[in-house]
A and B are shown apart, each in its own frame.
Chain A
Amino acid sequence: MYAVSKAEKAYLLDTIETGTRLDGRQLFEYRPISLQVGVLPSASGSSRLRLGETEVLVGVKVEVGDVVESSNDNVQLLFTVECSGSASADFLGREAESWSSELQNALESAYRAANVFDDERLSLVPGKFCWLFKVDILVLDTGGNMMDAISMATRTALSTTLVPRVHIVQSEGSFELEIDDNPDACDTLKVEKAPTFLTFSLIGNHFVLDPSIQEETCARGKLSVAVDANGDICHVYSFGLLDAVELSRLLTIIKKTGKVLLNRLDECVKNGESS
Chain B
Amino acid sequence: MERRISQRYGPFFEPIHSLEREYQRTRPNNAPRSLVLNTGTVVDAAGSGYVELGKTKVIVAVQGPRPPIRIRGGVENTMNGRITCEVVKSSFCYYSYESTRMANVGRGVSEEERLLSTRLVRVFEPIVILDKYPKCSIDLYVVILEDDGSAFAAMTLATSLALADASIEIISVVSSVTVAISTKQEYLVDPDRTESECAVGLITVSLPLHAAQLCEIQHTGKLSIQVWLSAVQLAVEVAQTIGNSMCQFLLQEMEKNETPSLCS
**Do the two chains touch directly in the complex (Cβ atoms below 8 Å apart)?**
yes
- B residues within 8 A CB of A240? 122, 125-126, 215
Question: Does the CB pair A68–B5 fall under 8 Å?
Answer: no
- B residues within 8 A CB of A71? 7-11
Residue of A nearest to B97 (CB): A69
A214 within 8 A of B: no
Interface centre among B6, B7, B201, B232, by most A CB within 10 Å? B6
B167 within 8 A of A: no
A204 within 8 A of B: no
B254 within 8 A of A: no
Given A1-B76, A68-B7, A237 contacting B218 (CB threshold 8 A): yes
Question: Does the CB pair B1–A104 fall under 8 Å?
Answer: yes
Question: Does the CB pair B213–A233 fall under 8 Å?
Answer: no
Q: How far is the CA of A92 from the CA of B74 in the complex (A)?
A: 9
Question: Does the CB pair A117–B222 fall under 8 Å?
Answer: no
Q: How far is the CA of A94 from the CA of B72 in the complex (A)?
A: 10
Residue of B nearest to A244 (CB): B214
- A residues within 8 A CB of B225? 231-233, 251-252, 255
Question: When the two chains form the complex, which single residue of A105, A112, A223, A239 contacts B122, counting CB atoms closer than 8 Å?
Answer: A239
For the complex formed, measure the closest distance between the CB of B107 and the CB atoms of chain A, giving whole angstroms: 15
Question: Does the CB pair A241–B211 fall under 8 Å?
Answer: yes
Interface residues of B in 229-258 (CB under 8 A from A): 229, 232, 236
A224-243 interface mask toward B, CB cutoff 8 Å, 1 = contact, 0 = none? Answer: 00001001111111111111
Given A113-B221, A233-B228, A236-B219, A243 contacting B7 (CB threshold 8 A): no
- A residues within 8 A CB of B119? 239
Question: Does the CB pair B222–A248 fall under 8 Å?
Answer: no
Question: Does the CB pair A68–B4 fall under 8 Å?
Answer: yes
Question: When the two chains form the complex, which single residue of B10, B126, B222, B236 contacts A241, counting CB atoms closer than 8 Å?
Answer: B126
Main secondary structure, interface of A, reads mixed
For the complex formed, measure the closest distance between the CB of A262 and the CB atoms of chain B, giving whole angstroms: 15
B212 within 8 A of A: yes
Interface centre among B72, B74, B221, by most A CB within 10 Å? B221
Residue of B nearest to A74 (CB): B10
Residue of B nearest to A118 (CB): B10
Q: How far is the CA of A117 from the CA of B9 in the complex (A)?
A: 10
Residue of A nearest to B206 (CB): A239
- B residues within 8 A CB of A94? 72
Given A113-B220, A220-B126, A241 contacting B115 (CB threshold 8 A): no
- B residues within 8 A CB of A101? 1, 111, 114-115
Main secondary structure, interface of B, reads mixed
Given A244-B213, A247-B229, A114 contacting B222 (CB threshold 8 A): yes
A88 within 8 A of B: no
Q: How far is the CA of A107 from the CA of B46 in the complex (A)?
A: 38
A100-118 interface mask toward B, CB cutoff 8 Å, 1 = contact, 0 = none? Answer: 1110110011001111011
Which A-B residue pairs are the 4 nearest by beta carbons? A76-B6, A236-B219, A239-B122, A108-B5
Q: How far is the CA of A109 from the CA of B123 in the complex (A)?
A: 20
B12 within 8 A of A: yes
Interface residues of B in 1-51 (CB under 8 A from A): 1-13
Question: Does the CB pair B222–A239 fall under 8 Å?
Answer: no
Interface residues of B in 200-215 (CB under 8 A from A): 201, 203, 208, 211-215
Question: When the two chains form the complex, which single residue of B5, B6, B216, B222 contacts A234, counting CB atoms closer than 8 Å?
Answer: B222
Residue of B nearest to A228 (CB): B222
Q: Which of A37-45, A77-85, A165-173, A176-184 contacts B (4 or more CB under 8 A)?
A: A77-85
Question: When the two chains form the complex, which single residue of A82, A237, A243 contacts B213, counting CB atoms closer than 8 Å?
Answer: A243
- A residues within 8 A CB of B125? 239-240
- A residues within 8 A CB of B102? none
Q: How far is the CA of A237 from the CA of B122 in the complex (A)?
A: 11
Residue of B nearest to A80 (CB): B2
Residue of A nearest to B101 (CB): A69
Residue of A nearest to B201 (CB): A113
Interface residues of B in 35-92 (CB under 8 A from A): 72-76
Q: How far is the CA of A80 from the CA of B111 in the complex (A)?
A: 13
A8 within 8 A of B: no
Q: How far is the CA of A81 from the CA of B194 in the complex (A)?
A: 31
